[in-house]
Amino acid sequence: MNKKLAEFLGICLGDGTMTRYFIRISGDKRYDRKYFEHIAKIVHELFGIESSIYEETGNSLRNTFYIQICSRRLCGYLNASFRLSLGKKRKTIEIPPEIIGKREIEKSFLRGLVDTDGTISRRGNQFTVQFISDYPSFLKAVYQIGTRMGVFTYLNGDEAGTNSWPRVVKYFKEIGSSHPKHIIRFKERYFHGRLIYLKEVGKLQEKSEYKNLTLPYRL
């Protein structure tokens, strides 16, 4: 187990659909393209496999697009080695035992989860980091990782995270993010004192300070 693999497993468990033949993750072409390129880079470095990034066809009004990794061998490996379930409808999700108890590995895993199935964003006049899951036991296990890191402060319903700005700052020092839309919103708050909505990210991501981010980003 290494940090890149841990982040990739977090990505897959956060928002991935895996069949026997491919792994697919959906996103929004307005905000997620650079993040998908980061995922493709990780996959190539780990497994030597090329990924496909493509837009949904047949509906020009939607902004959905996908990254897809086609490899029966990779899907079989992830299923056999880390018990990643096949199919969209999963009865349960578990954190692979290889992740637990290794602090740096847990950090990378948590980053992958929050970057895909979480949010780092404005909530009213506050700033929040949260992870969302419909699987109570999995959510609790993720919350326990977050509390061990000193970054999560609540577990409520299908959410775990923090609304505490000092904890958000600590999150970016300890865990960080590989998703430009999260990084931009955090940096705007931290360096410029601005709480921005997602719709404002589109214009900001073309600014020079955000065009060539080193991923993952940490303070």
Closest of 185, 178, 188 to residue 213, by C-alpha = 178
Q: Is the pLDDT score of 88 beyond 90?
A: no
- What is the arithmetic mean of pLDDT over 36-50? 97
For domain 3-82, the CATH superfamily is: Homing endonucleases (3.10.28.10)
Distance (Å, whole) CA 191 – CA 209: 12
CB 31 within 8 A of CB 201: yes
Quickly name the fold that domain 103-211 has. Endonuclease I-creI (3.10.28)
Which tokens sit at 113? Answer: 């989860």
Report CA-CA distances (Å) from 199 to 12, 119, 139, 192, 215: 26, 14, 28, 18, 22
Sheet bearing 22-28, strands edge to edge: 16-18, 22-28, 64-70, 52-55
What is the average pLDDT score of the chain?
Answer: 92
pLDDT tens digits along 116-164: 999 988 887 889 999 999 899 999 999 999 999 999 999 999 999 999 9
Topology agreement, domain 3-82 and domain 103-211: yes
Considering the entire predicted model, what is its pTM?
A: 0.93
**Domain residue extents for the chain:** 3-82, 103-211
